[in-house]
C-alpha cells in the first residue's frame, strides 16, 4: 500500500491569498517555513520552504484566522510540480495540499473568543 502523507510544523511566511476557481471552489495559497532540528557544519539551522494549498471551507477559515508568523500544524499530501522557463531552465517545487490545518500551541495560547472579538472589533 502506498501512502503520501506528511505532517509539518512551522510558520506562515507569506500572507495567505484566496482565490475562487472557475467552478466556484475556494483555494488559499501561502508559503510555509519549517526549521530543521539539526544544524549544518557551520552551526546554522536550516529551513525548508513549502508552498501550501488549502481548499474549500478550510481555505476561507484559514484566510480569516491566520496571518504571517502564525505557527501551524499541517497534515497533507506532497505534490511535485515541474516546469521549464522561457530560457529553457527546468524548475521544480514541492507543494503541500493540506487536508487538515491547526494552530500550534507549542509557544503561545489561543482563544477563539479573543480572536473573534479582534476580528469583529468589539
Q: Which residue has the higher pLDDT, 28 or 112?
A: 28
Is domain 6-120 given the CATH code 2.40.50.140 in the classification? yes
- pLDDT over 90 percentage in the chain: 67
Q: Given a cut of 80, is residue 113 above it in pLDDT?
A: no
Confidence of residue 37 (pLDDT cuts 50, 70, 90): confident
Kindly state the cell numbers that stand for 61. 477559515
Residue with grid cell 467552478, as numbered in its chain? 23
pLDDT at 78 over 80: yes
> DSSP labels for 2-71?
----EEEEEEEEEEEEEEE-TTS-EEEEEEEEEEEEEE-TTSPEEEEEEEEEEEHHHHHHHHHH--TT-E
Residue 110 has pLDDT above 70, yes or no: no
In this prediction, residue 106 has a pLDDT band, given cuts at 50, 70 and 90, of: confident
Asked if pLDDT for residue 105 goes beyond 60, the answer is: yes
In the chain, domain spans: 6-120
Q: What is the pLDDT of residue 61?
A: 92
Set of cell numbers at residue 75? 497534515
- In the prediction, which pLDDT does 112 show? 61
Contact 46, 33 (CB under 8 A): no
Amino acid at each position: 500500500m502506498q501512502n503520501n502523507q506528511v505532517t509539518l510544523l512551522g510558520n506562515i511566511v507569506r500572507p495567505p491569498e484566496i482565490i475562487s476557481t472557475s467552478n466556484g471552489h475556494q483555494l488559499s495559497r501561502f508559503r510555509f517555513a519549517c526549521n530543521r532540528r539539526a544544524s549544518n557544519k557551520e552551526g546554522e539551522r536550516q529551513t525548508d520552504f513549502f508552498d501550501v494549498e488549502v481548499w474549500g471551507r478550510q481555505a476561507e477559515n484559514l484566510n480569516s484566522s491566520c496571518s504571517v508568523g502564525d505557527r501551524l500544524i499541517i497534515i497533507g499530501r506532497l505534490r511535485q510540480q515541474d516546469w521549464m522557463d522561457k530560457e529553457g531552465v527546468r524548475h521544480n517545487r514541492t507543494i503541500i495540499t493540506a487536508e487538515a490545518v491547526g494552530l500550534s500551541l507549542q509557544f503561545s495560547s489561543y482563544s477563539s473568543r479573543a480572536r473573534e472579538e479582534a476580528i469583529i472589533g468589539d
